[in-house]
Structure formats: C-alpha cells, structure tokens
A and B are shown apart, each in its own frame.
Chain A
Amino acid sequence: MGKVFAFHGGIHPPENKHQSTQCPIAIAPLAKVLNVPVQQHIGAPAKVCVNIGDKVLKGQRIADAQGKVSVPIHAPSSGIIKAIAEHPVPHPSGMPALCISIETDGLDEWIEHSGLEDFRTLSKHQLIDYIRDRGIAGMGGAGFPTAVKLHLGDDHIVNTLIINAAECEPYISADDLLMRERASQIVSGIDVLQHLLAPSHIIIGIEDNKPQAIRALEIAIQDCKYNIDVVGVPTKYPSGGEKQLIQLLTNVEVPNGGIPADVGIVCQNVGTVYAIHQAVKHGESLISRVVTVTGDGVAKPQNYQTLIGTPFSLLLEAAGMYTQKTSRLIVGGPMMGFSIDKLDTPVVKTSNCIIAATSTEMPAPEPAQACIRCGLCEQVCPVQLLPQQLHWFAKGQEYQKAQQHNLFDCIECGACSYVCPSNIPLVQYYRHAKTSIREEQQDKRKSDLARERFEAKQDREQRAVDEKAAKRKARAEQAAKAQAEKKAIEKAPVLTPQVQLISLQNALKAANSTVLIAQQKLTDQTAQGNSATLDLCNLQLQKAQKQLEQAQLALDAFESKNETPAVDTKKLKIAAAQANTKLLKAKQALKGAIEKSQPGIELLESTISQLESEAASATTMYLAATQESTTIEKAAVTSEAELAATTPIAPAIKASNDSKDCKKLKIAAAILRAKLKKSQTQLALLGEQPPTQPDYQKLEEEITSLQQKLVTAEQEYQHSVALQPELNSTVPVKPALKSIPEQSAAAIIVDNKKLKTIAAIARTKAKKAQNELDKLIESGQQDSLVAKQLIEDLTRLNEKVLSTQNTYQTAKGPTTNAPEDENEQLQANFAKAQNLYDKASAALIKAQADNSPAVEKMETSIAKLKSRVDSAHNALTASSSNNQE
C-alpha cells in the first residue's frame, strides 16, 4: 500500500451504495429500439456513415470520428437503421440531439471481430488508433476520448499511471461491481496501458468503502510483473475527481490550467480500462457499459450490463420502478448529475447511474436565503477557491472578477452548495457564470472576426475604387498627352506675322549693317588710296545697298500688306460708292424734274454728268488701288523669295488679304442684289395697286440700274477673284510648281467667262421680262395676275443669276484643295435659304394681293429669312475665299 495524502476540503454525504451492490451485474434486456446519440464524448460529434434502412450488425461502425478529438460510434446490436433524427439525450438541457435509431432484430448478431493476438507486436500509434477505432472514450463522466489521453505519452514523460476507481459519488456502484467481478480483465487492460504509456508506477486509487473490490484487484495483480499498487483512499467526496485523486495519491497538485500529464501523470477510469481490455483482447467495440439503477423508487436496485442506446425506461422496468413513488429521475450521481424528465432517454458511454428518487429521498430544495458569510463553502472547496466571493461576482455579473478568482478551476463538485446553510445554489451560479463567460468570449471572437472581415471588405472595396480612379487617371493622362502631341504638331509650323515682321526687320538691320561696313571699307580704301580694291569695294557697297533696298521693300510690303492696302481700297471704295449714290440721287432728281417738266433740268443733267464722271473716276481709282495693292504684294512676294527669309505662310496671309477684298466685293454684290429685290417687291406691290405710270417707270428704271450695278459689282468681284488665282500662282515657294497653278488659273478664267456669259443671258432674259411687263403696262392691262407672273419670272431669273454664281463658285472649287464639301454644303444652305426667301416673298405678295391679315407676320418672317440668306451667303463667301488660299 502506498502512502495516501490529503486534499483540501471535501464532504461526507451518505453513501447509499449498499442498495445496488447486493446483486451481481445483470444483463439488461435487449431494447426493441436503440437510440445511439452521435455525440457521447467531448469533442466533435461523430459523422453518421449509415443510411436509413441499412442492416447493421452488432459492433458495426455506424458513425465515424471527425477530427482528432472524437471517437467513432458502433451499433450496440444487430438490426435495421430506423431513423437518424433528433432524440432526447442525457443532457442537463433536456434538449434532443442527433441519434441513430436501430430497430433490433433480436438476433444480437456480432460483426466479425477478433482481438489482437499480441498487441505488443503493433506499434504504439497503431495500437492507439486501434483503441480509438473501437470507440473508446472516458467512462468516468466527462467522456474524453481515450486515444487522445494515450497519445500524451508521445510528448510527455509519464511517470505514474493512475487508475481511477474511487467512485466517490453516493449511490453509484458500477465501478465497484465491475472490479469485484472483472478484476482480471481490468488488470489485462492495465497491461495494455502499461505497454502504451510505460509508466514507472501504476496506482489504482480506490475508496476504502469498497473492500471487496480492493481484495479482488489485489488478487488480480498478484502475478503482475510491473510496479502496480492498489491504494485505498479515505472515503470522502470528491476524491474521485481526477485532480483530487492525483493529490491524494501523489501529493502533486496539477497546476492551474494544466493537465495531469504536465506533472507526469495520466489518469484512466477503471471502466475505460475494462473497455480497452475488451477492445484489445476481444476486438469488441465500446457498445455496452455497466449502469447502476438505484434509488428508493426502484424495487430491485442493481447494476446492469447495458447496451448503449438502451432507453432508461427499460432499465427502470427491469429494476422494478414504482411509478407512483418516484418523484424524479437523476442521471449520474446526486452531486454532479442532472435530472431528466424523458424516460426514453438512452444510455450513453458516460451514463454510470440512474437514480429513481422518491420525494423523501431527495426533497425539493429549501428556498435559498441570503449569504450569511459563514465560510463553510470555503472550507469544503476541494480546489481551494473562495465560493462566497465567486457567488457575489456571479450574482453581480462581474465575470471578469470571477475569472480573476479562478472560476474556471471550479470542478462543479457541488460540495459548497451541499454545505451551504442558506441553501444557495452556488454551483448553478458558477455554471451560469461559466457559460456566460464562454458566451462572451465567443461573442468577442465573433465580433473580432466580423470586424476583421468588415475591414477586409472595406479594404478591398477601397482598393477597387482606387484602382478604378488610377485607371481613369492614366487614361485621362494618355488622352491629354495625345492631345498635346497633336497640338504640338499643329502648332509647330505656324508663324505669326509678328515673328515674320521681326525676321524681316532683322534682315533689314543686317543689310543695313552690311552697307555700313561696305561704306566703311570703301572710305578706308579711299583714304589709303588703294585703287585696285576701291572698285571692288564700290561694287560691294552697291550690292549691299541693293540688298538693303530689297529688305526695306520687303518690310514695307509686308507692313503695307498688313495694314495699308485694305484701308486705302476701303476708302476708295467708299468714295466710289458715295459718288454712285450721288449720281443716283441726281438722276432721280432729274427724272422727277423731267416728269414735272420743271426748269433747271439742264443744270441737273450737268450735275449728273459731273457726278457720273466723279463716280467713274472713283471706281477706276478704286480698281487701280486694288491692282496696286496686288502689285505691291507681288513685289513683296518676290522680295521675300529673294531674301529667302520668309516662310511658306507668307503667301497664305497675302491671299487672305486679297480674299478680304474679294469678300468685300462680294458683299457689295449681295447688297446690290438685296436692293434689287427690294425694288422688285416694290414693283410688285405697285403692280397690284392701281399703278401710276411714273412710279412704275421709276421703279423699273431703278431695277435696271440696280441690275446694271449688280452686273458691274459681280464683274468686279469676278475680276478680283480671277486675279487671285494668278496671285496664288505667283507664290514662289517652289518655282517649279508655278506653271501648274497658272494653267489652272487660266482654266478658271475661261470657266468664269462662260459663267459670265450665262449670267449675261439670264440678265437679258430678265430684261425681256421687264420689257414684257412694260408692254403690259402700256397696253393698260394692269392686271395683277399678269404682273405677278412677270414678277415671278423676274425672281426666277434672279435665281438663275444666283445659280450661275453658284456654279461659278463650284467651278472655282477644284482649283483649291481646301474642303470642298463644306463649301458645297454652305452653297446648298445658301441656295436653300434663298429659295425659302423667294418663296416666302412670293407668298407675301400673294397674301398682300388677297389682303390677308397674315401679311405682317409674313413680313417679319421674310426679314428673318433675309437675314438667314445673308448670313448663309456670308458664310459661303468666307468659305470660298478661304478655299482660294
């Protein structure tokens, strides 16, 4: 016998073991339906590996272990899988859990099995796996998978193996009977453990209230080769607690939060050892266990070898339960067990006892009263905690402090509750506190995880947004770059007139300085009297002077081109126009005078002739000025070419200058046309009203004069336009190309001539129409209808004039390489606008004839259309002048 030490606290509740130890272990009857829970151990539940309707044999595996801390489940008897569903299980919550229901066939037919002949031939790992495959888990109460404990030998030095046979809880006698009847098998199981863990010392710890078991074990270990002791420990609750038993037997305290293996000790329950024997020697999986059925509620308290999954009702029936007397059913011992209320709850691997208690045996607890701080709980606590403090903390929900007071070291033995004079359910407080703390921790973990995931998601989204932004930015940059490149390409060859001017001025300066130098040289040579070089110097000076002149000329030309000619021509033009208007007025006055046969006609006639001559001179001056400007430009061009200091855009600028004139002429033509039209409409109006001859005539005359003017203006315009290609052709950028534009210019001139003739024909037609009108008026047929027709004719003719101009412009088109499409479009626009306008005016005339009230409106719309026509025309002229560049 080894030495026995002591642990702190402990209580001595009435044992009540004798009731169930009177009879040997009986075999429990075979239940019709066995409900085998998939989780009967600590760790992950086993995974069902059979289907409903499958036929299973006794010992056949029906659920596989999942993960490391798990064990498989085997069929306790042969039969058919009836259901895999939720079923009540022994659990303090009373809640159902997944069970495999087997309908037994009564044959109890074993699957083929055999034990290991010599387990020592297997490696330790193989042997442990074998034990695990037999589904062995701790049978003391917690149900910790035995294989995990046996693996402790791998990384821990195990000095002592303790076989826990204390069975300290009242009422329970399953281990006691097991030891009494099957001591040799237990020793055989110890043999296996000895092989696996190789401890130096094996102690069987057994409470001294089981003398028969002690004797049986002592006999069994007599011929054991190794160091094995059966140690009787004093009967005191809870000596069967793992840590308490270790302290009792070795006086070693397992550190807080540690496991016994940390101090070189492994503990196994005696029932587990027996199961190991059964597995190793006979190959039988853990499918049955010894269950104590006791309490005053049963007639025949007894231990039963019971198949796992057998409902408690069957055991209680076998033991003869008094249904009336029994007030409650308790699974496990009275200290740490829990009550169940469903009789079909099955036996599991950890069910060591069922107590059918009467109300006198286990009365309802008295109401709890306030803590009187007696300190009894502290005295009985086997783990030396401060139950009273823990109680306060648990009650006040100060879980952190409870944890600081080592709440989790509490083994929930119930000793404190047992001794509490105020009947405070202390253990329940602790259990609640523990689960609450665990829940809190789990929530914390979950919230941490949620935070992590949330942040990860945010991060990811932010990244996506950033990437998008970066991409967009890159794209924008690329586009900007491309744009800039494009711009640079466009910009590069452009030179502003200022730059040109500067360069010209520079050239002039340079020429000036050369002249000065030459003069200096000349004077020097003269002073020296060197006649031989004198001539040479003179020549040089002349050359330099020429250069200077040229440069000056070029500069002047450039400057005048930029400013003067336009102004001059404008002035001249205005003068011409003034002269013309004066002439017109005078003519009108003359006409009026003639009609009224007033005196002073002669005077007027003379004034008219004077004015006519004035106008003619002004026009010629104007034309001369235009020609002059062109000649100046020509000269400038030549000088530029000679100086070779100019850039190819010089002609372009010049051309644009020319086209300005051209444009002006065109605009003048347009104005004239407008005037013509106006007078025509007036004429039409008059035609409708009872016409007075003189007015009519006057208007007609006006029309003719206007038409003539128009013709002259057009001619002028055409002349200038015809001049332009010539100018363009003279641009001496590449003299070799000169001939080609010249040819084309000639062709254009020919074309223009043709068009001119067409215009002339149109005009003659217009004249004819006018004549007809005259005739009509003369014949007194002042019918408005005929007048209208004539007016329409006039308009048509005007249109023809216009169209010829258009064709002329189109004909002009090919000479330029500029956008013809645009030009065409503009022309089309113009034609359209013109048409619209004409139509509108015709409609107006009609409306006026009918005296319709919409006349005013129509007039305004006509004005609008007119402006449109004008703008279209302007655009067209601008574009065509551009084309000529």
Chain B
Amino acid sequence: MSDFLLIIVSTVLVNNFVLVQFLGLCPFMGVSNKLETAMGMSLATTFVLTISSVCSYLVHEYLLTPFSLGYMKTIAFILVIAVVVQFTEMVVRKTSPLLHKVLGIFLPLITTNCAVLGVALLNIKKMNNFMESIVFGFGAALGFSLALILFSAIRERIAVADVPSPFKGAAVGMVTAGLMSLAFLGFSGLVQI
C-alpha cells in the first residue's frame, strides 16, 4: 500500500509530468486560459490516462511480450490510446451528456497528449505490474491536473493584471510556467523512486 502512496507522491509532486518531466506541455499552455476549461481538461486527462495505462499494460503484457514484439510498443500504444480516447468519447457522449459537456471537446485533444504515451511507455520501462500501472497512470494524471489548474488560476489573474505589453499573453505564461517548474524542483529528493 505504501508503494502505491509513494508512486502517487512521486508522480504528483516529485516527478510531475508537466513541470518536471515536461510532458503534455501542449494542453498545459493551450487549455489553461480559463479555470473551467482547465478543470474539464484535467478531468478528461485523468480519465484517459488511467484507462490507457491499464490498456497499454494489457496489450504489452498479453500481446507484445508473447510475440516478443517489445520494439513495437510505441506504435501499439498510440493505437491503444487513440482507440481508448475515441471509445471513451462515444460512451460519455451517449451515457452522460452533462459529462460530455464538460469533457467533450477535450477528449479528442488528449489523443495527441504526449503525457499519455509517456505514462504508457514509462510503465513498461519501470516494469510496473498491473496495479502499479493503474496507480502510476492515475498519479500522473493527478500531477497533470494539479499543474494545469494552478497554472490556469494564475493565468486568469495575470490576464487582468498590468503586465508590460511585450510580456502580455503567452510570454508571461511561459515565464509563469518556468517559475512553477522551478518551484516544483523543490520537491526533488522528497521521495526516492
């Protein structure tokens, strides 16, 4: 159990996917203008990350390894992620229009989120077992959500702040992201994993 906790802490804070490993920067910069959209994106990413880490684990374990096709894992995982995202989108759309309203437009964006592929690949690299894969994926998603929500909240404030005009918009966003990344560096060494 403590292993799982360690994985969570590690992925959320110490090895935060966005701010430390610099994965999934696209949505981090792109969908952080508004807190609401950032929350929607976070929810959708959490959902997809967890499920796709499970699926990719299964594919790797029961399809690629028996045929000793480990070298094909990147292609296979991209396929898995794309399908999972599409399938999720369809199911959500049918079963919960409300959730679809929140997640709807973000789900297709996640297909190309490198954090998702990164998690799948890291799971294999770290030789995580099934449960560990789930927790790892979930933790990564939590870390992504934390960074995204924090960042979007800051950006909302920056939007109405008196920013010197050369820095307005994306520039100050980049600066902010860099500062946040620096701040997260402070967590390094907290957990040895």
Contacts and interface: CB of A to CB of B under 8 A. Distances in A.
Indicate yes or no for A touching B, C-beta below 8 A.
yes
Interface of A: 370, 392, 395-396, 398
Interface residues of B, number: 6
B1 interface: no
A176 B161 CA distance: 46
Contacts of A370: 161-162
Looking at B157, B160, B162, which has the most chain A CB atoms within 10 Å of its CB?
Answer: B160
Nearest to B156: A396
Contacts of B161: 370
B162 A396 contact: no
A398 B161 CA distance: 14
B159 interface: yes
B160 A392 contact: yes
B4 to A, nearest CB: 36
Contacts of A395: 160
Nearest to B160: A396
Interface in B136-172: 156-157, 159-162
Nearest to B161: A370
A396 B162 CA distance: 12
Contacts of B159: 396
Main secondary structure of the interface of A (DSSP, over half): loop
Interface of B: 156-157, 159-162
A395 B159 CA distance: 10
A370 B157 CA distance: 13
A816 B161 CA distance: 109
B34 to A, nearest CB: 9
A392 B157 CA distance: 8
A392 B160 CA distance: 7
9 contacts: A370-B161, A370-B162, A392-B157, A392-B160, A395-B160, A396-B156, A396-B159, A396-B160, A398-B156
A392 B156 CA distance: 9
A395 B160 CA distance: 7
A368 to B, nearest CB: 11
B96 to A, nearest CB: 22
A370 B162 CA distance: 8
Contacts of A398: 156
Nearest to B159: A396
Nearest to A398: B156
Nearest to A369: B162
| A-B complex: 8 closest residue pairs judged by Cβ atoms | A396-B160, A395-B160, A392-B160, A396-B159, A370-B162, A392-B157, A396-B156, A370-B161
Contacts of B162: 370
Nearest to B162: A370
A188 B132 CA distance: 81
A392 B162 CA distance: 12
Contacts of B156: 396, 398
A398 B159 CA distance: 11
A444 to B, nearest CB: 18
A395 B162 CA distance: 12
Given A370-B162, A396-B156, A398-B156, 6 more contacts: A370-B161, A392-B157, A392-B160, A395-B160, A396-B159, A396-B160
B179 to A, nearest CB: 18
Nearest to A400: B36
Contacts of A396: 156, 159-160
A373 to B, nearest CB: 10
B148 to A, nearest CB: 18
Contacts of A392: 157, 160
A241 to B, nearest CB: 29
A370 B158 CA distance: 12
B124 to A, nearest CB: 43
